[in-house]
Each structure stands twice: as C-alpha cells, then as structure tokens.
Amino acid sequence: MTQTLHIALAQVNPIVGDIPYNLGKIRKTRDEAPDSTDLIVFPEMVVCGYPPEDLVLKPFFMDEVQRAVDALAKESKGKNAALIVPAPWKDGEEIYNALHFIHDGSILATRTKRHLPNYGVFDEQRRFKPGPLPEPVTFKDIKLGLMICEDMWYPDAANYLKQQGAEILIIPNASPFDSKKHDIRLHLAQARTDQTGLPLIYVNQIGGQDELIFDGGSFALDHAGTLTTRMDQFKESLDYIKLNRGEDGWRIEGTQNLPPPLQEQEAIYSALVLGLRDYIAKNDFPGLLIGLSGGIDSALSAAIAVDALGPDAVHCVMMPSQYTSKESLEDAKEQADTLGVKLDTIPIEETVEAFGSALKPLLDENTPATTFENIQSRTRGLLLMALSNASGKMVLSTGNKSEMAVGYATLYGDMCGGFNVLKDIYKTQVYEMARWRNQNNPEGTSGPDGMVIPERVITKNPTAELRDNQSDQDTLPPYDVLDDILTCLIEQDMDVDTISKRGHKRELVQNVWKMLDMAEYKRRQAPPGVKITSRAFGRDRRYPITNHFMNIIEKSAT
C-alpha cells in the first residue's frame, strides 16, 4: 500500500487559444519535475486557457483541444508522474468543463464540472453542460476526490466524494482576482475540510486575460483546515507537497515560513501591473503610448506602465493647450525623467484653433462650452492614435472608475486607447495608490525605487485644464463623497434612501445615479481594463443603455 504521495502544484500562466504554447508549458513542467513526483496538478482549462468563451463552440477548436490531450496521454507512457490536465471536452453533442487524469499512456479518468457559475463575469451555462457529482479516481491505491473550481463553493461535491471513499481533495481553479477574494477562497476551502476531514489541495491559474486577472495564491490545507502550503500571488511557480499515510488518513507535511498574503494595496497594484503586462505581451504590442498631462491619473498610469514593461517600451507625449499650466509641464517632465521614459511635446493650440475655424460657421454664442473643451481632448486622442498607427504601440487610456461612472470623460478623446489600467480604480484609490507606490516598489517590477510620481501631482486640485481655473469639483462633488455614493450604487446595489442614510443628500444621490445611467453609452465604447472590484464596468455589470428606471425613482420622491 502506498505510504507517501508527492504532488506538484503547477501555478502557470496560459494564453487563451494558444494550445501549442500551453502544451509547451505543461510539457516543461512535466519534464522538469523531480523523478519522485507522483502527480502534477494544473489549473482549470490549462490546455486552452481560461476563459475560452465562445471558442468552445467552434468544432475545430474542440478538435485541437482533443488532439492536445491525446498527445499528452501518449507521451505519459512509462513516466512516473500522473497529470491532472483540465480542458473543455466534447462528449457527443454536449460540451463540458472537464479535467483528465492522465497516466502511463492513457486517460485514466475524466471528471466534469457540476456547478457552472453564471454570475458576474461568468456565463458558463451558455456553453457547458453541468456534469454529475464526481466519483473518486483511484491512483496508486489512493482514492482522489477531484473537483473543478466552483464545485468547491458548494458542499455537495465534497460530501459525495467523502461518501464514496475519497481520501484527498484536489481542486484545479481559474479563479479571477478581486481585492476581497483571497480570504473568501480560503474560508470556503476550510469549510470543505471541516465537513469531510480530508486534506485539500487548491491550484489556481495566474496571469491576465483581457480584463480578468488570475492571482495564483495556490495552497494546501491539512485535514483540520490548517494552512500547510501557500504559493506566491501574481507569479508563475511550481511547488511540491508530500503527503504521508497515517492510521487516520493522509497528512500533509507542512511548509516552513509560508509567504503571507499580500496586503490589499500591494495586491491591487500587482494585479494592475500583471494585467497590463500580459495584455501587451499576449496581444503582441511593441509598447505603449501615454498622454502624460501632469495630472494624477496619467501619472499613475505611467508608473504602472514602466513597472509592467520597463521604460524603453513606454513613450509619453505631452500635448499642452493654452490652458495647460506651467506646473503641469514641469511635473510631466520631472516624472518622465524619473521613470526614464521618452517624452515628446506636441502643442495643440494651433490644431484646436483650426478645428474652431472649420466649425465657426455652424456654431454661435449659445454653443455649450463643453463643445470647445472636448475639441481639445479629441485633438489629443487623434494625435495619440496617429502615433499609434505609425509605431504599432498601443495607446493606454488613463481615466479612472469615478470618471467612467459619471461620464466625466470625452468619447474619442481621453477615452481613446486599447486598454485602461485604471478602469476599475476609483479616484480616491488613485491618490492612495500613488502615495503607496512612492513608498513601495513591489517585487518583480521594472520601475525605479523611490518617488516616481511628483508630490505636487498628488497634492494639487484635480483639473482637466480645458478652460481657465477649471476644477473637477466645478462639475462633481468631492471625490470622497462621490466615490462612496458610487460604491453604494455599483458594488452594493443600494437604493437612494439607504445611501442617503449614510449622510448624503438625497438630491445628490439621485443626481449621481442619473449621471451613472446616462454614461452607460460611453462605457460601452470604452476600452477594456483590469478588473479589481467585485463589480467592474463591462461584462461584470450589464445595464441597458436605454433605461428610464431612474424616472420612477424621481417621481416616487415627489
């Protein structure tokens, strides 16, 4: 009877759709594992990357996945280590989210995901059929209980596996990051060990996939729910655990000096860096273009860009108008010098005047001032996109979640770009993160230590500098007030009365809600960006553009 089991936890970063690349990662991990390794566990859908979305509806895509799994099975002949290789799988006309247990030249078992998430960013029920409760897989006379990701969030699969004699629970995952999720995963895993008395191994994907970030942080718990292994977040890595059979079941040998989970600010910043780095790398862009204004949002975006890609891949452009202050010019240059990035200056005053002259016959004294303000923003967007066409570099949009929420952003102007790293970061968080980055430099970044964002950028009043003496608070409430209301509306779905009880005037709450609804058409045209919160704009939050529900709220209050 087997007395010890050596398991490798492969926390890897696949690319969606790049099956040869992903196969290469699987093979490299397999071939470099010590001879003593009995089992290597890979994350959910590692063969094709997660989430594959409607790729699984293409028959020839599924054929390629099957060929890849079959190749891994043939290659396993004569090798000691078995593989748990998750992949989408077609059985007849049905498609499943599945895993394959591969060993000694064949697929010993296939298990399918029972609980298909269909909330937030997930819509697995659109593509996959739920599987039955999973049966244990016997390997080296050990009954292994294999579940896939969401199946750990419910008690039925773990209970059933325990009833069928499972001795160890193993869970491949592709669980996206949000800033509050780390403890939730751990507590859910501990609930499964509490109910079964079995050790549990949790292997999570890392990497960026469009707006989703997978943060890794794989771990193992002993039968009592005690953490025995924890892997780093936001890093590809391989860890090994040893289990010993005792009289009362399997026990995991504990790892000394477990790395602590990242504090929230560092975790968010690391997610932004990883998300931007992978978006650029996986989409084969040669670098980034950033409109560096001397303001806080572009300053933080530039710091993240350099941390993600290094200074040589980041090209900043200052585009001053007649309203651009001397301080903004100085701050932008100071930051560019500190970061070591190229900074070019393209004055836009003459270009804006040319647009004004062309439009003059069609405008009059009643034309709203925003018409002329937005010409400045759109001129900058046009210039950046021209430079993008010329160089192939991607324009990084720099708006934050507060601005995107209330429409304080110009379509085809500052919203131009292929990606927005601050899309799910509120304005108050932008300031907090800028201060944090000036005092910290997370491991694995390419930027310099010390103050990378000039202090004056952080302390001066926020302004778009599109007219004389402009301030964001000419149009918006103070950002601490605005962000609290927006968090209540977006992440927590509170009603007006509940938000008002937090100390906000009812009329202000209604106005913010109205701005939020009216800006939906803009957000539909915005670039993707890194998801950080439990409800990011995009696939996480789906509201109709044509929407009169706010009218009912206003009428009910009168």
Specify the CATH number for the domain of residue 279.
3.40.50.620
Do 220 and 290 belong together in one domain? no
Q: In what order do the strands lie in the sheet with 39-41?
A: 106-112, 94-103, 82-91, 39-41, 4-11, 237-246, 249-252
Do 255 and 309 belong together in one domain? no
The Cα-based distances of 104 to 30, 66, 70, 77, 242 in angstroms read 13, 18, 12, 4, 21
For residue 134, tell me if it sits in a domain. Answer: yes
Residues 6+ apart with CB under 8 A from 230: 217, 218, 219, 255, 258, 259, 261
Q: Which of 472, 494, 524 is the last residue of a domain?
A: 472
For residue 324, tell me if it sits in a domain. Answer: yes
Alpha carbons within 13 A on the beta-carbon side of 96 = 19
> Which pLDDT does position 374 carry in this prediction?
92
Do 231 and 336 belong together in one domain? no
DSSP string for residues in 309-350: H-GGGEEEEE---TT--HHHHHHHHHHHHHHT-EEEE---HH
The model's pTM is 0.94
For residue 427, tell me if it sits in a domain. Answer: yes
Q: Which of 226, 261, 296 is the last residue of a domain?
A: 261
Options 25, 48, 113, 465, the catalytic residue: 113
Do 227 and 327 belong together in one domain? no
Residue type for position 546? T
Q: Which residues of the chain have pLDDT under 70?
A: 1, 255-257, 465, 553-558
CB of 514 closer than 8 Å to CB of 550: yes
> CATH code at 157?
3.60.110.10
Residue type for position 116? L
Do 192 and 212 belong together in one domain? yes
Active site residue 432: no
Domain ranges, residue 171: 4-261
Closest CA to 399 of 527, 544, 535, 547: 527
> Which pLDDT does position 257 carry in this prediction?
67
Do 350 and 397 belong together in one domain? yes
For residue 494, tell me if it sits in a domain. Answer: no
> Which pLDDT does position 433 carry in this prediction?
96
For residue 295, tell me if it sits in a domain. Answer: yes
Do 25 and 145 belong together in one domain? yes
Residues 6+ apart with CB under 8 A from 405: 486, 490, 515, 516, 519, 537
For residue 516, tell me if it sits in a domain. Answer: no
Do 173 and 274 belong together in one domain? no
Active site residue 488: no
Distance CA 171, CA 187 (A): 15
> Which pLDDT does position 487 carry in this prediction?
95
Burial 167-206 (b: 16+ CB within 10 A, else e): bbbbbbbbbbbbeeebeebbeebbebbeebebbbbbbbbb
Do 254 and 373 belong together in one domain? no
- Give the number of domains in the chain: 2
Express each pLDDT in 329-359 by its tens digit: 999 999 999 999 999 999 999 999 999 999 9
Q: Which of 472, 504, 525 is the last residue of a domain?
A: 472
Do 150 and 85 belong together in one domain? yes
For residue 141, tell me if it sits in a domain. Answer: yes
For residue 100, tell me if it sits in a domain. Answer: yes
> Which pLDDT does position 554 carry in this prediction?
67
> Which pLDDT does position 45 carry in this prediction?
97
Options 25, 48, 124, 149, the catalytic residue: 149
Do 201 and 299 belong together in one domain? no
Do 256 and 120 belong together in one domain? yes
Options 25, 44, 488, 531, the catalytic residue: 44
Active site residue 149: yes
Express each pLDDT in 218-249 by its tens digit: 999 999 999 999 999 999 999 999 999 988 88
Burial 261-298 (b: 16+ CB within 10 A, else e): bbeebbbbbbbbbbbbbbbbebeebebbbbbbbbbbbb
